[in-house]
Amino acid sequence: MSNEMNNQEQPLIEVKHLKQYFDINTGFFQTKPLKAVDDISFSIREGETLGLVGESGCGKTTAGRSILHLYKPTAGEIIYRGKKIATKSDIREFRKKATMVFQDPYSSLDPRMTVADIIGEPLDIHKMYSSQEERRERILSLMEHVGLNSEHAARYAHEFSGGQRQRVGIARALAVRPDFIVCDEPVSALDVSIQAQVINMFDELQEKMNLTYLFIAHDLLVVRHISDRIAVMYLGHMVELADADAIYERPLHPYTKALISAVPVPDPKVAKANKRISLTGEIPSPLNTPSGCPFHTRCPYATDLCKEAVPVFEEIEKGRFVACHRAKEINS
């Protein structure tokens, strides 16, 4: 981009029509595609946090991993700072700028490695120091950023509590000086009492290091605090995307309405405005997704059209994207 104006408008990450299918063995030499992510599009501005929510199995982790090219996307494009990630060398460069913090701090860190080596490994892989002294200093500075002290450096991951392990995981993710981090339910395995501390740390690190986050969670309350905007997924599809407050105060998609009405709301006015919708029926299998709107088997507003035609994910009000044939009608 040539001028400053365009630079400001250009998102850091653009996801266009991303699909991630897995071939599943269904019998003798037969496979079927499991559509874990099925045509999602959105963008994230520099310094923004986009929350990504939805029930278990809807494709949040898969979406995060495909965006980072940890899986080769089945279809679609990932655009970083205006440039499509296309070649192996693009992927290599992107990996220095985009990284992931995992859900389970117990299984994602090698218990036989010391904290210093866990944090130092990405520095080694990307040859990010010119002397052992510099390597040591980088590791200690990263530890300090996440609230660990130098005495922790020679200890092993298995000696730590969940919260401390997650700090180690975050320091490791920060080692390459990324500007984009996919945070995959980074607090859901932690005790409720320390979840807020770790979330606050993500907030502070974002300020200090100008980070951009895709913050995955199934708990809507966790993402509300940290997110600027929130995207809601259902069965591999994106059903709604809006400013975080708007999603809570006036959800437009029937599925979002159901998710929100399941969350206790302290404000009675908001509670009244959000008519209670409870979800009935099981989530269909992503191996056998319903025709038309993926939510039609559980949606109280479904009509015949919903069974046949896939609703387009479109901007129905400024900044509000919804995939529902009846969105305007049921919200007017």
Ligand X SMILES: Nc1ncnc2c1ncn2[C@@H]1O[C@H](COP(=O)(O)OP(=O)(O)OP(=O)(O)O)[C@@H](O)[C@H]1O
Angstrom distance (rounded) from CA 316 to CA 17: 19
DSSP-derived secondary structure for 195-246: HHHHHHHHHHHHHHHT-EEEEEES-HHHHHHH-SEEEEEETTEEEEEEEHHH
In the shown chain, the binding pattern of residues 19 to 48 toward ligand X, with x for contact by CB under 6 A and - for none, equals ---x-----------x-x------------
Judged by CB, which is closer to ligand X: 11, or 57?
57
Binding footprint of ligand SF4, residue count (CB under 6 A)? 12
Strand partners, 317: 320
Determine the 3-state secondary structure of 290 from DSSP.
coil
Helices 132-145 and 162-174 cross at an angle (nearest 10°) of: 130
Segment 301-320, which members bind ligand SF4 (CB under 6 A)? 301-302, 306, 311
Angle formed at CA 129 by CA 127 and CA 134, multiple of 5 degrees: 155
Residue 159's identity, in one-letter code, is E
In eight-state DSSP terms, residue 103 is: S
> Choosing among ligand SF4, Mg ion, ligand X, none, which partner's interface includes residue 259 (Cβ < 5 to 8 Å by kind)?
none
Nearest to 18 by CA among 81, 89, 71, 94: 71
Interacting span for ligand SF4 (CB under 6 A) from 22-30, 151-159, 243-251, 300-308 = 300-308
Q: How far is the CB of 2 from Mg ion (least distance, A)?
A: 39
Binding to ligand X by residue 67, rule CB under 6 A? no
Indicate which single residue of 47, 57, 147, 290 sits in contact with ligand X (rule: CB under 6 A). Answer: 57
Segment 238-277, which members bind ligand SF4 (CB under 6 A)? 254
Indicate which single residue of 49, 61, 166, 195 sits in contact with Mg ion (rule: CB under 5 A). Answer: 61
Angstrom distance (rounded) from CA 260 to CA 264: 8
Segment 230-289, which members bind ligand X (CB under 6 A)? 286
Binding to ligand SF4 by residue 326, rule CB under 6 A? yes
Q: How far is the CB of 36 from Mg ion (least distance, A)?
A: 10
Applying CB under 6 A, the residues found at the interface with ligand X are: 22, 34, 36, 54, 56-62, 218, 286
Instruction: By CB under 6 A, name the binding residues for ligand SF4.
Output: 254, 293, 295-296, 299, 301-302, 306, 311, 324-326
